[in-house]
Amino acid sequence: MSMLRAIFGHSSGRIGGTIVVIYVIVALLGMFGITPQNPLQQFRIDRLHAPNAVYWMGTDLFGRDVASRLMNGIGQSFLVAFCSVALATFAGTVLGLTAAWFGKAWDGIVMRIMDVLLAFPAILLALLIIAVVGPGTWTSVAAIAIVYTPIFTRVVRGPALSIKAREFVDAARTFGSSRRYILTRHLLLNLVAPLTVQVTLALAWSLLTEAGLSFLGLGTQPPASSLGLMLADSRNLMENAPWLLIFPAVAIMISILGFNLLGDALRDILDPKTRRSAP
């Protein structure tokens, strides 16, 4: 509760938090099919209809309702973003914690593998994974998760190393606390702050990456909708039907903006050192 109060008491947090809450509601509605029209239904007489009272955001080339497809697309994009970040957070946390705790050879192996993964620009590594497995929604989830795992591993390992050397961890060991207990209750709980900031920012990146992959035709596959796919479809029609471009473009921008603002606010709230010069 106090965290929520802090977020909504921060100027960026208020805007970012509101955007994210609205998007999550829209995404859930879109995912469960609670949309003005069926996103896949083709109203052939109303093809490329401009926005009006029936079709709030117009219709596309096949006469499908853009608003419904947008809601469904936001749901799809959020599903990919949340699943991939959840996987990356889990894998990165386990790898980072164990690397910091066990050290020596295990630390060396984990961190060198992470170095190798970081040797590729994010989109390129995602493209390589998709080239191997083939395009699709769950391939995008796996690709984005693999791309962002090294970042979470690094975010966890650094602070975990310094916490490991603190007196209270030594004290817990002396009292006979199990390794699992120390790792989860002492190390992990102290890493919640940097992880929260990283998760929020990673959600913005993964939304961006998912949209990019779908735009290239390597993410979500038709007839399902996704924001990137809708933009790709709008390319040849933007002059005659600009609503096909404008609505998904603005939807992507605002969703990423929301997570970026929320991430900045969380960083300010959880790390007061950055408050003075926060950009």
Partner 1 sequence: MSYLARRLLTFPLVMLGASILVFVAIRLVPGDAITAMLGTEAGLLTPAQRAALAAYFGIDKPILVQYWSWLLGVFQGDLGISVIHGKPALTIILERFPLTLQLALMSMCVALLVGLPAGVFAATRNEKMSDLAVRVFAMIGQSTPNFVVGLLIIYALSAGFGILPTMGEFTPLFTDPLRNLGQMILPSITLGFAFAASVTRISRSAMLDVLSDDYVRTARSKGVPKRSVIWRHALPNALIPVVTLSGVEFGYLLGGAVLVEQIYALPGLGRLVLEAILQRDYALVQGCVLFIAFNFMVVNLLVDLAYVTLDPRIRLGESN
Residue 74 binds to partner 1 (criterion: CB under 8 A): no
At its nearest, how many Å lie between partner 1 and the CB of residue 255? 8
At its nearest, how many Å lie between partner 1 and the CB of residue 56? 20
Residue 237 binds to partner 1 (criterion: CB under 8 A): no
Residue 131 binds to partner 1 (criterion: CB under 8 A): yes
Closer to partner 1 at the Cβ: 167 or 239?
Answer: 239
Q: Is the Cβ–Cβ distance between 200 and 259 less than 8 Å?
A: yes
Residue 28 binds to partner 1 (criterion: CB under 8 A): no
Residue 230 token pair = 């809708």
CA distance 255 to 265: 16
Closer to partner 1 at the Cβ: 85 or 256?
Answer: 256
Closer to partner 1 at the Cβ: 54 or 216?
Answer: 216
CA distance 154 to 166: 19
CA distance 150 to 12: 28
Residue 132 token pair = 């191997």
Residue 235 binds to partner 1 (criterion: CB under 8 A): yes
At its nearest, how many Å lie between partner 1 and the CB of residue 183? 22
Residue 13 binds to partner 1 (criterion: CB under 8 A): no
Interface residue with partner 1, options 4, 21, 124, 171 (CB under 8 A): 124
Q: Is the Cβ–Cβ distance between 13 and 261 less than 8 Å?
A: yes
Residue 130 binds to partner 1 (criterion: CB under 8 A): yes
- The alpha-helical segments, DSSP class H, found in the chain are 2-9, 11-31, 66-102, 104-118, 122-133, 137-164, 167-174, 179-181, 189-190, 192-215, 227-234, 243-270
Residue 260 binds to partner 1 (criterion: CB under 8 A): yes
Closer to partner 1 at the Cβ: 40 or 128?
Answer: 128
At its nearest, how many Å lie between partner 1 and the CB of residue 264? 8
Residue 252 binds to partner 1 (criterion: CB under 8 A): yes
Residues 134-173 that bind partner 1 (CB under 8 A): none
Q: Is the Cβ–Cβ distance between 14 and 8 less than 8 Å?
A: yes
Length of the chain, please? 279
Residue 123 binds to partner 1 (criterion: CB under 8 A): yes
Q: For 59, phi and psi rounded to 5 degrees?
A: -125, 160
Q: Which residues contact 46 (CB under 8 A, 6 or more apart)?
A: 54, 55, 59, 63
Residue 43 token pair = 């109203």
Residue 214 token pair = 């779908």
Q: List residues near partner 1 by CB under 8 A.
A: 112-113, 115-117, 119-124, 127-132, 204, 208, 211-212, 215-218, 231, 234-235, 238-239, 242, 245, 249, 252-254, 256-257, 260-261, 276-279
